[in-house]
Amino acid sequence: MEYKITTKNELETIEFAQNLETEKFPNMVICLNGELGSGKTIFAKGFGDAMGITEDITSPTFSIIKEYDGELPFYHLDVYRLDGETSGFDLKEYISKGGIVIIEWADTIKDDLPAERLDINIKIVGENKRILVLKPKGEKYIDFCEAVL
């Protein structure tokens, strides 16, 4: 099962992420994939803003993970630089801390991802237009998608 959403600009991508945030739950994992510049960090920013995070949400490319305080803890990961090697941090620990985990470039560590999660592939189809393909993995994430889409 998958869902496709088209956004025409960054603002619509942010608004879509904010809409998804309304149904968040503890230990939620969202895996973002897409080429460079597709809007992965824009999505994370929109989701985090809706959680009440006032800090500027930026890509954690060099630090791998940034932690923010909001309605729930927010863990924003960018695993691009790991080249598939996750021994440097305990992903399972972050997933079980009761917060929201958003992982950019998640396909690079797919063997370490939890079986239940929401995969979002972002495709560039124009200068600002994006198609977001949501693939829920597990009943909880299917229910989540049904509730917000």
Closest CA to 32 of 132, 119, 134: 119
Residue-wise burial string across 62-76, b where 16 or more C-beta atoms lie within 10 A, e elsewhere: eebebebebebbbbb
If you average pLDDT over every residue of the chain, what do you get?
93
Please report which confidence band the pLDDT of residue 18 belongs to, taking 50, 70 and 90 as the band edges: very high
- Three-class secondary structure of residue 85 per DSSP: coil
Please report which confidence band the pLDDT of residue 61 belongs to, taking 50, 70 and 90 as the band edges: confident
Better-scored residue on pLDDT, 59 or 97: 97
* Mean local confidence (pLDDT), 30-41: 97
Closest CA to 9 of 149, 118, 125: 125
CA dist 53 → 28, 45, 75, 85, 115 (Å): 17, 9, 12, 29, 28
Please report which confidence band the pLDDT of residue 84 belongs to, taking 50, 70 and 90 as the band edges: low
Domains and CATH numbers, the chain: 25-131 (3.40.50.300)
* Mean local confidence (pLDDT), 37-47: 97
